[in-house]
Chains A and B, each alone.
Chain A
């Protein structure tokens, strides 16, 4: 399987979007860091360490939870369309490799990209934040970023089912991803109006509530009064997203197999 994963990365060589993904890890940390240094923002925090937590929270909220589903969706479209667009599936099938092996490798690549993006975003936050704020708790923050990367990628897999099902153009996939991200962000913003079931079935609100609760447990100053009853445990998040991911992977495998015939 390692070989297959390595090959999936090789297939993305010279794809400009991958460079964009790397650069986009800096997209939110840079302006948000500047925003944190403005007096109106600084007065909301007790000290520079508290402000760094605030910056990390915002990067997690906007940079990761909004941008990552889009990135995962587009990379998935690239990976899942690459064999169809270049007529290489026949070469793979005659090796022989099964659709399930290929699909599994592609999904592992998505998880790796999700995690790497989250770590890169956190490191970018630290690099930019260290000039203006007090950086601390790096180990926990990177660990939280890794967890968030895995959760968001798992939660984006239902979108990949739709991308593979329609098997259309990249533009269609990008639009679908943006719609999914906006839908998730809107649901997060409307947490006091929407039923808990809907909020927990959408990956961004679910991970946002979980990460907020997790940060609070790790001593980060968070105001969670309004989210009472909405914060899931780590087990609940793993269970919900795990079920979602397993069903999605089975459907992607089924659809990919059908497309390959």
Chain B
């Protein structure tokens, strides 16, 4: 069997002239959380839909669990749990009744699975409240319960924390992390909230205009992300001279008359500060800056933030 749970080859989806997803090559390893980042319309949901067989690719191929999705979807799909776009349930039924319907169709032990799934997301079992009366957060929780009810090996979750309150988000984060760390599930998750992806994902994909720009582990990303020391001094030109002569360092950038960014973070800041002061420079600020995922996203996509 292939080392990848999901592997796509030049996956493309085209609507008329518009390419929603363009020649995407994805590689998903077992037991990791993959964060899918992209603006609205970047192609995240379309990619997820293609992985689930909800929409047919225009070209390219998908392999899940080492099998071709095109010919083996009936064998593959029972091992996948998913939440795509908004939660879809019958409004005239309660949460429990809704889950029972899908449990019945999946042919799994209705009572136990439904009770366990509802417990996991913090919703009451056999509650009389109809789905139509649920808040957005409750609807989202029910959708996650549906996704995990049949104990799938792979979870594909499109914006799962939409509508959840801060505590709900934190609970969901712990729950997803536990699914991966304790139960060895592989999870594909998209979110608008970059900080959430940053806290949750082991690997990230950045998609823009249907093109996969980055496929990187968070560890590698942290290494690649630029770190620098920001100096606010009375004369940045003079500071630059001191760095060249006293520390033999050229890895900096003069931003303006008073601001200098030093990219070599190995030289002790205290030492540099001491020399600057000794040479007659006034220092107002010295601090270490690190690029956030949002900064990185902006840099990679060459534009504004995600929201």
Q: Which chain A residues have a beta carbon within 8 Å of chain B's beta carbons?
A: 3-4, 6-7, 10-11, 13-15, 82, 86-97, 261
Contacts and interface: CB of A to CB of B under 8 A. Distances in A.
Contact of B84 (A90, A92, A95): A90
Nearest to B146: A91
Contacts of B106: 95
Name the 9 nearest CB pairs between A and B, nearest first. A87-B88, A96-B77, A88-B88, A14-B92, A7-B101, A94-B52, A95-B105, A94-B82, A90-B84
Interface residues of B, number: 30
13 contacts: A3-B107, A10-B97, A86-B88, A87-B88, A89-B88, A91-B88, A91-B89, A91-B146, A95-B105, A96-B74, A96-B77, A261-B55, A261-B56
Contacts of A10: 93, 97, 100-101, 104
Interface of B: 52-56, 73-74, 77-78, 80, 82, 84-86, 88-93, 97, 100-102, 104-107, 130, 146
A3 B105 contact: yes
A90 B74 contact: no
A6 B105 CA distance: 10
B90 A11 contact: yes
A94 B83 CA distance: 10
Contacts of A88: 88-90
Nearest to A83: B88
Given A3-B107, A10-B97, A97-B105, A87 B92 contact: no
A11 B74 contact: no
B102 A91 contact: yes
A119 B121 CA distance: 45
B104 A90 contact: no
Contacts, number: 68
Contact of A11 (B54, B56, B93): B93
A93 B101 contact: no
A103 to B, nearest CB: 15
Contacts of A97: 105
B93 A14 contact: yes
A257 to B, nearest CB: 12
Nearest to A3: B104
Contacts of A82: 90
A82 B93 CA distance: 12
A89 B107 CA distance: 18
B220 to A, nearest CB: 32
A13 B97 contact: yes
Contacts of A7: 101, 104-105
B90 A94 contact: no
A120 B107 CA distance: 33
A11 B55 CA distance: 25
Given A87-B85, A90-B84, A94-B77, A15 B105 contact: no
Contacts of B86: 87
A86 B89 CA distance: 6
Contacts of B107: 3
A93 B74 CA distance: 10
A144 B20 CA distance: 57
Contacts of A15: 92
A13 B93 contact: yes
Contact of A13 (B54, B73, B80, B92): B92
Contact of B91 (A86, A90, A91): A86
B88 A90 contact: yes
A84 to B, nearest CB: 10
Nearest to B73: A96
Contacts of A261: 55-56
Nearest to A92: B105
Given A15-B92, A90-B84, A95 B104 contact: no
Contact of A6 (B52, B102, B104): B104
Contacts of B102: 91, 95
A223 to B, nearest CB: 48
Contacts of B80: 94
Contacts of B104: 3, 6-7, 10
A98 to B, nearest CB: 9
Nearest to A102: B105
